[in-house]
Structure 1
Amino acid sequence: MSNKNTYWLASYPKSGNTWFRLFLNQLLGPAQQLNINDLPIQNTIASARLGFDVGLGVNSSDLLPAEIDRLRPFNDELFNDASDSHIYRKIHDAFISPNTGHPIISTKVSAGVIYIVRNPLDVLVSYHYHLNESIDETMAYLNGQGESKSQHPNGIRSQFNTFMGGWSHHVLSWIGQTQIPVCVIRYEDLLSDPLTHFNKATRFAQIEHTQSELQQAVDSTQFEKLKAQESKVRFAETPSHTSHFFRNGIAGGWREYLTEAQVQKVVSTHSNVMQKLGYLDNQNNLIF
């Protein structure tokens, strides 16, 4: 039987997953200098086509989406079994594949999931810049359409279509499932008290470290340091239409961009989950 070596770093896009992976990379290699493009964890994103094709020895372009989704858990098991220690893999998919009705990942090898969540109003603004689409077009994804548009420049998708559903659907699909343990980490808490909440996540993921190692990893991956490094060298995950990936990174920045009507549309769609996660009080007043 396979060991459960895999921890998932799950999030809706633009919720802090990249920041968390950079932090984790520094924590696991505390002696190395920060290099935003030296991020091996990124090579094992769950929806990567190349890793799937190489791992399973198939040409995924010959497969239907449902066939791919049925096979993805088997590829997860290959990734898992190739390592003698814990691995930490990024995923943006919702927990259940709509093509199969089953988990998109292998629960047999999953030790747990760190679910990173962010105020959907800030997600909306950040995703709008990332997609290079209007706020209202981006809101269609946030409020329900929810399929990624990952595209390779030569026209072949480098990642499989990623079904996310709307923001609320995505959140509940992960934090509401009971098949694998889950640790919920709010982006806003990482900003306000990084030592406490990064430590919460690493303890959940059974990562041994000293307090000084934690402090070093937090300090070296402060947002302004990431942004400063990106000003000198392009980050590999930056979309082709923009010059920067690390744009703002604050909590509550949505107030400078969204109209009242846009805010109310998001809040009315996601109020239940926003209350559950502390983004709204019980009177539907915004907290962040």
Structure 2
Amino acid sequence: MTEIAWIASYPKAGNTWLRFMLTAYLNDGPVTSIDQLQTAVPDLHKMLGGGETLPVGDGAGRLLAKTHFLPDVGLMRLYREQTTKAVYLIRNPRDVMLSAMRHMGIPRTDLESCRRFAEDFIANEGHSFWRDHFGQGSWTTNVRSWTDRDAIRTHFPNIEVLPVKYEDMRADPAGWLRRILEFLDLGRPLGDDVIDKAVANSTFEVMRDLERRSALDAPGFSPFGGQGEFVGKGLHNQSLDFIGPDVEAAYRRRAQGDGDFAACLREFGYERG
């Protein structure tokens, strides 16, 4: 039976960057096309857009696949028995918010649009459209549903989950790629030279270059989906003050409150950021 290992996250948490590193590792070279990325670590959302789903046949081996879905989404039930592992990426929701703004083509100079987006994100603990139309829940729900051991095993009884903070991966990409590969157990060499090469072939500059070259036939749209640039600079611990101090204050009130959002931030060390 094919075993599935999910590369899972709330959107804009570093999923594509990790897919690049895994693809570079598996192919022992840089990612040269979006199709190559999709072959090595297929994006379930892109497959659905093309009328496809992941194979669930009797083939051997482990299939890596990307998802932003909550584990209780109906489609994910197709993979209940095949799912054995998940690497779950977690990123500071403030940085998720700002990355999503850029990806949706909202420039920082358009303060009114930035304000509307930020206020929606803060009020809903995530992007309300992703929650209501894409089965991804709020940031809090997505994180909890994948990282709470008892909760995730109600959907995938055979699963092991490795939570990975985006900020830790940024600080030590080679070290964390090694830990991820050891967890995934893909049966390939894990020498320092192999891992360092995969990291070097997956820098943000490399990803941006592929995005620009792949988008030439569709100006204004990213080959990774959406409007605006998908690949940013990987910034973290950013502020919302540029939109307005009241917006930053509203976020801090939510982050320091008594709700599950604040509790989740504390659990993963984001209460100060």
TM-score (norm: length of structure 2): 0.76
Tell me if 1:211 matches 2:192: yes
Quote the residue 2:85 is aligned against. Answer: 112
Tell me if 1:236 matches 2:236: no
Quote the residue 1:13 is aligned against. Answer: 11
Show the 5 A alignment for 1:127-206: 127-131=100-104, 132=106, 134-143=117-126, 145=128, 147=130, 161-176=133-148, 177-178=152-153, 179=157, 180-206=159-185
Compared CA separation, residues 36 and 247, structure 1 to 2 (3 A):
farther
- Matched position secondary structure for 1:163: coil
- Matched position secondary structure for 2:64: strand
The answer to whether the 8 A contact 2:131-2:137 is kept is no
Deviation digits for residues 55-76 of structure 1 (CA, Å, limit 9, x no counterpart): xxxxxxxxxxxxxxxxxxxx55
Compared CA separation, residues 124 and 198, structure 1 to 2 (3 A):
same
- Matched position secondary structure for 2:85: strand
Quote the residue 2:48 is aligned against. Answer: 49
Percent sequence identity over matched residues? 21
Compared CA separation, residues 225 and 262, structure 1 to 2 (3 A):
farther
Quote the residue 2:206 is aligned against. Answer: 225
Cα distance in 1 for partners of 2:56, 2:192 equals: 28
Corresponding residue to 2:32 among 27, 32, 35: 35
Quote the residue 1:249 is aligned against. Answer: 234
Compared CA separation, residues 236 and 202, structure 1 to 2 (3 A):
same
- Matched position secondary structure for 1:39: helix
Compared CA separation, residues 46 and 84, structure 1 to 2 (3 A):
farther
Deviation at 1:147, TM superposition (A): 2.9
Quote the residue 1:60 is aligned against. Answer: none
Deviation digits for residues 216-268 of structure 1 (CA, Å, limit 9, x no counterpart): 0011111233234444542511423x2x2112212213456464224214413
Quote the residue 1:63 is aligned against. Answer: none
Q: In structure 2, give the amino acid aligned to 1:227.
A: R
Q: In structure 2, give the amino acid aligned to 1:252.
A: N
Cα distance in 2 for partners of 1:271, 1:140 equals: 13
Compared CA separation, residues 226 and 49, structure 1 to 2 (3 A):
closer
Find runs of 4+ consecutive structure 1 residues off by over 6 angstroms.
none
Compared CA separation, residues 194 and 114, structure 1 to 2 (3 A):
same
Cα distance in 2 for partners of 1:22, 1:144 equals: 25
The answer to whether the 8 A contact 1:13-1:92 is kept is yes
Deviation at 1:181, TM superposition (A): 0.8
Q: RMSD across aligned C-alpha pairs, in angstroms?
A: 2.8
- Matched position secondary structure for 1:147: helix
Quote the residue 1:81 is aligned against. Answer: 57
- Matched position secondary structure for 1:81: coil
Give the unaligned 5+ runs of structure 1: 55-74, 150-160, 281-285
Deviation digits for residues 140-198 of structure 1 (CA, Å, limit 9, x no counterpart): 5534746368xxxxxxxxxxx42122111110101112331100011101100111111
Cα distance in 2 for partners of 1:107, 1:48 equals: 18
Deviation at 1:28, TM superposition (A): 0.4
Give the unaligned 5+ runs of structure 2: 107-112, 216-221
Deviation digits for residues 108-145 of structure 1 (CA, Å, limit 9, x no counterpart): 00121110110111011111222346322344553474
Matched residues, number:
240
